[in-house]
Amino acid sequence: MRTPDLDDDGWCLESGLERHLLHPESFEIPDEATRAGLQPGDFAKLIFVIAVEEDDEPIVERMWVVVREAADGTYFGLLDNEPEIDENDEFWLGTEVPFGPEHVIEVQAGNAESRDYAARAPLKAWPRD
């Protein structure tokens, strides 16, 4: 599976694990078992780096996704936030996002509503090839 690339896709994910390893006292993340054991319907917070057309520097946003699929160390989730940028053709509520346990910076257990949300078709699917 291809991972998001800032140049090709206009966004990518930052590794929460790398950030934690650089700043263990000030940047805590869930333990590895929690990050690797997410199930459909669970919530995961990720760090998105998003290119903005009129700015040389990308913006960084922490947003929630609802886990849709979990297989072989890769997750697919549905974006559960609207980014705080004015012009945005890539990210809308319900957009599918691929990620790994290393990207997860916070977790919340799912509920019946989030499991129903995870079962629906994404508004924009991530290519699987």
The pLDDT averaged over each successive group of 10 residues in the chain (129 residues) is: 86 94 93 96 95 81 94 91 64 84 97 95 86
- Give 76: exposed, middle or buried? Use CB within 10 Å, 0-12, 13-18, 19+: buried
Within a domain: residue 128?
no
Within a domain: residue 14?
yes
Within a domain: residue 124?
no
- Give 31: exposed, middle or buried? Use CB within 10 Å, 0-12, 13-18, 19+: exposed
CATH code (residue 59): 2.30.30
> Number of structural domains, the chain?
1
Residue pair 24/111 in contact by the 8 Å Cβ criterion: no
Within a domain: residue 125?
no
Within a domain: residue 126?
no
Within a domain: residue 129?
no
Q: What angle do CA 58, 48, 16 make, to 5 degrees?
A: 120
At residue 87, the pLDDT reads 54
Q: Which two tokens stand for residue 11?
A: 């966004």
Q: Provide the domain limits for residue 34.
A: 6-119
Within a domain: residue 104?
yes
The bridge status of strand 11-14 relative to strand 106-108 is unpaired
